[in-house]
Amino acid sequence: MLYRIAADGLVLFHLLFILFVLFGGLLALRWRPLIWLHLPAATWGVLVEVLHLTCPLTRWENLMRHAAGQTEYAGGFIEHYIWPIIYPAGLTPQIQLALGSVVLAVNLLVYGRLIRRWQRRRAARIPF
């Protein structure tokens, strides 16, 4: 029972991590120290999608499910939980590249805005 709860907790944590990868840059616009957590998370998210890496959270969840006597699932978290909700078809490498590109583009836009904001504030403080 505890292993099943742990596996379900990992699923929730995994989902929250994915949401943080996607939207954490927006939080960093408000709370700047969050940048130091978000940049590595966003980098990892892009690398997992572009290089087709297996996230360790998926492996840990599978280990917990196996210990609970449940069947493990093949593929990654997105393929198993998120993709079936959004699209009925399977996840292809091309779509994974597109998803990674979306994550990268969103974060480049957010951090570009943050950098411009910093430059404006710095220019306003420096007397000529």
Tell me the residue range of the domain where 31 lies.
2-125
- Asked whether the predicted pLDDT for residue 59 surpasses 50, the reply is yes
- 50: CB partners within 8 A, 6+ apart: 96, 97, 100
Q: What is the pLDDT of residues 10-25, one digit of tens each?
A: 888 888 898 898 889 8
User: Is 43 within 8 Å of 21 (Cβ atoms)?
Assistant: no
Q: What is the number of structural domains in the chain? A: 1
- 107: CB partners within 8 A, 6+ apart: 25, 42
Q: What is the pLDDT of residues 66-118, one digit of tens each?
A: 888 877 666 666 566 665 654 546 667 788 788 888 888 988 998 898 888 88
Question: Can you give the pLDDT at residue 36?
Answer: 93
Question: Can you give the pLDDT at residue 14?
Answer: 85
